[in-house]
A = this chain, B = another copy of it.
Amino acid sequence: MTSPSPAAILLICCPDRRGIVAALSAFITEHHGNIIALDQYVDTANGVFFARMEWELDGFTLPMDGFAAAFRPLAEPWGIQWSLHLSTARLRMAVMVSRQAHCLYDILARTESGEWPVDIALVLSNHPDHRPLAERHGIPFQHIPVTAATRAEAEPLQIQALRDAGADFIVLARYMQILSPAFVQAFPMRILNIHHSFLPAFAGARPYHAAHDRGVKIIGATAHYVTETLDEGPIIEQDVIRVSHRQGIDDLVRLGRDLEKIVLSRAIYAHLTHRILVYRNRTVVFT
């Protein structure tokens, strides 16, 4: 549970060495931070230490803009990679969407009802269809047509639009165009995608058709960070639902829509609340 009072969140990754937890918690305690959550995990096979520390800012004697300087003497000798976040800071999210709108509807509803501490900076689409939906929520909408043939010209425009909107991260909410490596590199580990299968099964196009064809008894959805290789980025969240021979492809699509929107939203929540560390194309998600 995230603390309702202002808190700092520190994400850490470093080589695993004796005393790392003691050193980290001593550092916070010395500056009178009250740790309200400490999750740690050691990848013993690779000797890597991961942690998420959350402490109340009330009473913490180190100002946030002085944190880096104060933490450096600890971080450097231990080889610590870290990022610091404030629970009170609101991220700016851009949503990219094509024709299917169920994930977009779900994101807009959660944002409007205050479920998430986020601002939607932009809805960007390769189709004009969902302009009324976005604008009804007071969200800027931009239509930039893209096809496989026009991707090279369109992507710089998209990237510029996302930057102009000040997007901290991007959610592909059933966006059906492939992103070029250059696009992905512009927002490293800051693009979340929902794929409508239980990856790595049924990567690529038309996964529900492929699932029906194979006769699986369970279908799934996968939220992952986008990397340069299609459908192979680090997995953040997955979920599944049982099906049987009775479900035709239309039924899989219908049942899958619910999976997709819930799985994507769980991943967005984890990203927003700074619970995800990425390492070796896998994620550590502290829930």
Q: Residues of A at under 8 Å CB distance from B?
A: 1, 3, 18-19, 21-22, 25-26, 28-29, 32-38, 40-45, 50, 101-102, 105-106, 109-110, 112-113, 115, 136, 198-202, 214-218, 220, 234-240, 242, 244-248, 250-251, 254, 257-258, 262, 265, 281-285, 287
Contact = CB atoms under 8 A, between A and B. Distances in A.
Contact of A38 (B40, B112, B215): B40
Contact of A109 (B22, B28, B102, B242): B102
B18 A22 contact: no
Given A21-B25, A245-B284, A285-B245, A239 B218 contact: yes
Contacts of A258: 262, 265
Copies in the complex: 4
B262 A238 contact: no
B38 A21 contact: yes
A52 to B, nearest CB: 12
Given A102-B109, A217-B237, A240-B240, A246 B287 contact: yes
A246 B40 CA distance: 10
B215 A234 contact: yes
B29 A18 contact: yes
A211 to B, nearest CB: 9
Given A36-B44, A115-B254, 18 more contacts: A1-B44, A18-B35, A19-B29, A21-B29, A36-B42, A41-B246, A105-B105, A198-B201, A198-B218, A200-B216, A214-B281, A215-B234, A217-B237, A218-B220, A218-B238, A245-B282, A258-B262, A258-B265
A268 to B, nearest CB: 12
Given A1-B44, A198-B218, A217-B238, A28 B22 contact: yes
Given A105-B113, A218-B239, A235-B217, A37 B42 contact: yes
A235 B215 contact: yes
Contacts of A220: 218
A45 B246 CA distance: 12
Contacts of A235: 214-217
A29 to B, nearest CB: 4
Contacts of A215: 234-235, 281-283
A222 to B, nearest CB: 8
